[in-house]
Chains A and B, each alone.
Chain A
Amino acid sequence: MIPAPFQYVRPTTVEEALQAIADGGEDVKVLAGGQSLIPVMRLRLAAPETVVDLGRVAGLRGVRDDGDAIVIGAMTTHSDVLSDPLIAEHAPLVAEATATVADRQVRHRGTFGGALVHADPAGDLPAVALALDAEFVIAGQSGRRTVPAAEFFVDYLTTAVEEGELLVEVRVPKLTGSWGMRYEKFNRVAQAWSIVAVAAVVRRENGRIAEARVGLTNMGPTPLRARQVEEALAGAEATPEAVAAAAQRAAEGTEPSSDLNAQADYRQHLATVLTRRAVTAAAGL
């Protein structure tokens, strides 16, 4: 379990990091918490020429209040996320999902940005970012651009972050009104990846569901929004029956994978059950 030889660079600013990536040769990998990158390197499934370690780029770590949004630095670790008061106040769903990520040791090293850029279909944070309509700030040598969550996750393990670019931070809009949230994760053992999971964000108004956003984890190569469910719920009565009926549509149009833990049809079934449970809880029913 020894990685192939590589060059190692440890910049302290985003600019230095971008320069290091540009100078790094053919195959450059950015190292955040290393919880996904190091295992693939040790298994020799990846053998980058240069590794650019973001661990000393202080500006990428931490959470700040930016008026109508909170901004989470890419290098904020999972355990920082769990203890952050701004996240607890404005985006508790992020903390709830993060608490289900792996174990304590992994959460101390793994980062919010790393998990999103890695974009593992079984990862928990992409569907949450999608349900919260987060925005991704990406830096390149030619400047910064902002990409909405709906466009960020491109394919299996692939995001809008291009070669030579870095994810620097993620803007999560503050929600106004009476919102409830729930992350419903299904896995076989406590510290495992999701087989399927559902992130639900629901706004209630006068006994009705005014708006619902439902993100699906591991129901395809990228995280998905269960749009049919969202449409069925918009304006629906806040009753268990209405939620159950809407949740039946959770798997419509999905093409999940088949693997050791679940074949596709079982994943689709789980999506409907978990959606019902997540929305029911988020709606306070």
Chain B
Amino acid sequence: MTAVEDRPGVPSDDAAAPEIGRARRRKEDARLITGMTTWTDNMVLPGMLHLAVVRSPVAHARITNVDVSAVREAPGVIAVYTGQDLAEEQGSLPCAWPVTPDMVNPGHPSIAVDQVNHVGEAVAVIVARSKAAAQDAVELADIDYEPLPVVLDMEEAVQDGADLVHDHLESNTSYHFVFDAGEMGTGSDTDQAFADADVVVSRRFVQQRLIPAFMEPRSVVVQPQGDNYTMWSATQIPHILRVMAAMVTGIPEHKLRVVAPDVGGGFGGKLQVNPEEILCLLIARRLGKPVKWTETRSESLMTAHHGRDQIQYVDVAADREGNVKGLRVRLLADMGAYLRLITPGVPALGAFMYPGIYKFPAYRFECDGVFTNKVPTDAYRGAGRPEATFAVERIMDELAVELGMDPLELRRKNWINAEEFPFTTVAGLAYDSGDYETATQEALQLLGYDELRAEQQRRRESGDPVQLGIGFSTFTEMCGLAPSRVLGSLSFGAGGWEHAAIRMLPTGKVEVVTGSTPHGQGHETAWSQLVADSLGVPFEDVEVLHGDTAISSRGLDTYGSRSLVVGGSAVVKAADKVIAKARKIAAHLLEASEDDLEFAGGKFSVRGTPGTGLGIQEIALAIFAAHDYPEGIEPSIDAEATFDPENFSFPHGTHLCAMEVDTETGFVKIRKYACVDDVGTIVNPLIVEGQVHGGLAQGIAQALYEEAVYDDDGNLTTGTFVDYLVPAASDLPHFDTGNTVHAAPGNPIGAKGVGEAGCIASTPAVVNAALDAVRHLGVTDIRMPLTPERVWRALHDGGDGGERATARTNAQAVDSTDAPSTSGGAL
């Protein structure tokens, strides 16, 4: 990866140059990287007690007896609570997205009362004077379980007569969600389209279960003060958490303050109302003392929500010339054992993106949300859209093979042309702007496409054991999660607006309060750049405040590539209001008419009289003193704004992957990766590139490395980072990145969102590349992640590489106490 210094566009010294577009180094990074900041787990409060959670070792069982008497006697232990103890007051964890009116939600206790439904579910909570004492006492809890049949396989779980996860329900199906373009009037009849088609290609794709694997483990501190409570949490969503926690616990919203201090990553994994957050509140309320819970990495992998886990049945219809005629998608989506905050909504969010950038005349989508005895799934970077993009970009390649067409030609024939924007798709979305052809041309150049194709040919002809393939992904995504009305029409439990406030301090410095809470994205830098340009103040004079509901009263937080598009736009709108208010004061002080004033470079001046004028920072002092200001206005130029766009934004791009496959071992290696993304206006190229790199790493990780694997008993086999393989920099190639810029028309910045792009686009490019390398050897699919073994099996036995073995089955019997079931190295 290119070093920062090599990159064009590093901060220019030209103070007059606009901030927007500058590759500013992030102002927050020094403190984040060195740890010179407050992470939740750093917090120490007088009298603080520590929690440890006793967790179920079994996936599905009735709890027949709970004996915690030995725990109570353990040194340092203050209290222990079981599910029975908290049953009356714990309520249910919220699910904010009832995707259908008849969706079945079994409720989600924070602590199991009489039944456990996944390994790792909380069954008791120990409160002790130290973390070590709490942890030591965990082993003393004696809990009896009566096993129930374990439901893991979705295709089995939806059969009639299947064992049930929740035996008081009629089936394992939570909901059946349908989007039919024919019925909605956005497309023609799908069955007819398939009946009339020359060619139909059908595939079954498996979106494996992934673990968000954020760097900072989850951590919560709750401090009671009289009937007020302050909760610090390593969360993405302090504002949503506050509302939800108030509703769950009955603590009135105005008595609850939630603070997300600096937060070390989330990727959707901290877009949650966690059982432990509720448990901390309940226990702090009972004891009247501050409490802290910080998870171990094992707890994190086992119990924090997972992502993806869908089986996709995809059919595409086309004519012989390669014009697509219809798309049909059936999904089984694994909810896990319960519905968490937006568990059911993730596949539904994807529903609208399966048509991708193509002009399908007909489209039908159906999804069953299925309960299993696993930890719930929920948002993970891209949430629904990576799955959709994968399906359409993979099936386009399959269709190309079926038709004997070049995969790029097929795409070109069917994609929306630049002059057709805005374009309303068969799913009813109005794509805002873009140019797929230009992005593709530039990406082909960056990759060195023609040379690599020639090399591929040579390797095929010589029968080289290392084969080469090239994979495409020409994707778009739906970003800037907002339009509140649209979210309402999808039954989402909240709006999508965002709020900002600007406070002009007497010395001319500026405080910006944002409702979009960052957890590593660099909001402080980008927002400072926006405000510096809007108000004409120095970048350094801007401070961005966030994450504390007592400071930032309104907000809907950070997810769905929404922060800049929605939250940044609110900041710009607030700045406009500051200028409008300052204009009145400037006119008064300059004894000029408001209409004669122009505002540039932070200064009001009277048109035609250069040299005269009043800076906005001076006005801030003048209005603080408030000795001289116009009648009838308030003595303040502070302002707030709430922004609610009317449409999503639709970044797009072309991602190309060249992949080497060692046919002797099955090892795959990315030879080259090039992508050109259109994310609209770029406020900070360095941040954009960082987001693309990180997204690529996670998307490539889904294709090649990561998979949460459960054994037949419902134990998470990939319970440590030895087995849940997160790639490091050394495992990733250099990325050749580029941009085209088509400003988004729907927000004042013109930004489209970049947080999820790389993660959404890269996965199918990588898999398509591997298949392109070995298709001539008879391989038509390889299941993700493409482990060397799967690739080798697909080459040698046919099929998609199959399931992975979950147990260490050494020839010699192994004492399980000293041999954790890890795949490489018992540690």
Contact = CB atoms under 8 A, between A and B. Distances in A.
A261 B705 contact: no
A87 B787 CA distance: 35
B825 A120 contact: yes
Contact of B823 (A46, A156, A259): A259
B817 interface: yes
Q: Which of B665, B667, B819, B821 has most chain A Cβ within 10 Å?
A: B665
B824 A122 contact: yes
B809 A260 contact: no
B810 A221 contact: yes
B96 to A, nearest CB: 32
Q: Which of A187, A188, A266, A274 has most chain B Cβ within 10 Å?
A: A188
A45 B723 contact: no
B818 A190 contact: no
Given A2-B131, A190-B728, A269 B792 contact: yes
Contacts of B462: none
Interface string A112-155: 00000000111100000000000000000000000000000001
Interface string B340-351: 000000000000
Contacts of B717: 260
B827 A186 contact: no
A194 interface: yes
Contacts of B709: 260
A156 B812 contact: yes
Contacts of A257: 808-811
B805 interface: yes
Contacts of B665: 186, 270, 273-274
A188 B807 contact: no
Contacts of B788: 186, 188, 195
B820 interface: yes
B806 A1 contact: no
Contacts of A274: 665
A266 B790 CA distance: 10
B206 to A, nearest CB: 16
Given A191-B730, A269-B792, A1 B819 contact: no
B484 interface: no
Contact of A189 (B725, B804, B818, B826): B725
B807 A258 contact: yes
Q: Which of A2, A186, A190, A256 has most chain B Cβ within 10 Å?
A: A2
B825 A259 contact: no
Interface in A142-197: 155-157, 186-195
B594 interface: no
Nearest to A263: B805
A193 B810 contact: no
**Chain A: interface size category:** 35 or more
A283 B782 CA distance: 36
B824 A45 contact: no
A1 B812 contact: no
Interface in B691-708: 705
B826 A120 contact: yes
Interface in A37-68: 39-40, 43-46
A205 interface: no
B297 interface: yes
A43 B298 contact: yes
B789 A261 contact: yes
Contacts of B191: none
A194 B824 contact: yes
B818 A188 contact: no
B666 to A, nearest CB: 8
Interface in B297-343: 297-298
Contacts of B723: 260
Nearest to A194: B824
Contact of A2 (B132, B727, B728, B793): B132
Interface string B709-743: 10000000110101101011011000000000000
Contacts of B287: none
Binding site of A, secondary structure by majority: helix, strand, loop or mixed? Answer: loop
Contact of B705 (A123, A188, A256): A188
B33 to A, nearest CB: 16
A78 to B, nearest CB: 14
A189 B705 contact: yes
B805 A188 contact: no
Interface string A8-32: 0000000000000000000000000
B811 A221 contact: yes
A156 B808 CA distance: 12
A186 B807 CA distance: 20
B809 A45 contact: no
Contacts of A245: none
Nearest to A269: B792
B612 interface: no
Contacts of B38: none
Interface string A245-275: 0000000000111111111101001100110
Given A155-B812, A156-B814, A188-B705, A261 B824 contact: yes
Contacts of B131: 2
B424 interface: no
A187 B822 CA distance: 14
A131 to B, nearest CB: 20
A207 to B, nearest CB: 26
B302 to A, nearest CB: 12
A155 B812 CA distance: 8
A228 interface: no
Contact of A259 (B132, B807, B818): B807
A189 B136 contact: no
A273 B817 contact: no
A193 B725 contact: no
B800 to A, nearest CB: 15
A192 B824 contact: yes
Interface in B71-108: none
A105 to B, nearest CB: 12
B417 interface: no
A35 to B, nearest CB: 9
B727 A5 contact: no
Given A1-B298, A189-B731, A257-B811, A40 B824 contact: no
B414 interface: no
A258 B819 contact: no
A2 B809 contact: no
A44 B299 CA distance: 14
A195 B804 CA distance: 14
Contacts of B789: 261-263, 266
A220 interface: yes
A1 B217 CA distance: 12
Q: Which of B718, B822, B826 has most chain A Cβ within 10 Å?
A: B826
Given A220-B811, A260-B709, A43 B820 contact: yes
B205 to A, nearest CB: 21
A3 B823 CA distance: 23
Q: Which of B664, B720, B821 has most chain A Cβ within 10 Å?
A: B664
B667 A186 contact: yes
Nearest to A254: B811
A246 B174 CA distance: 58
Nearest to B810: A257
Contacts of A259: 805-809, 821-824
A1 B297 contact: yes
B806 A260 contact: yes
A221 B808 CA distance: 11
B202 interface: no
B135 interface: yes
9 contacts: A43-B820, A121-B810, A122-B826, A221-B811, A221-B814, A255-B811, A257-B809, A260-B723, A263-B805
Given A120-B826, A190-B730, 4 more contacts: A155-B812, A191-B728, A220-B810, A262-B823
Interface of B: 131-132, 135-136, 139, 296-298, 664-665, 667, 705, 709, 717-718, 720, 722-723, 725, 727-728, 730-731, 787-789, 792-793, 804-812, 814, 817-827
The 7 closest A-B pairs by CB, nearest first: A193-B824, A255-B811, A193-B825, A260-B823, A259-B823, A190-B730, A1-B296
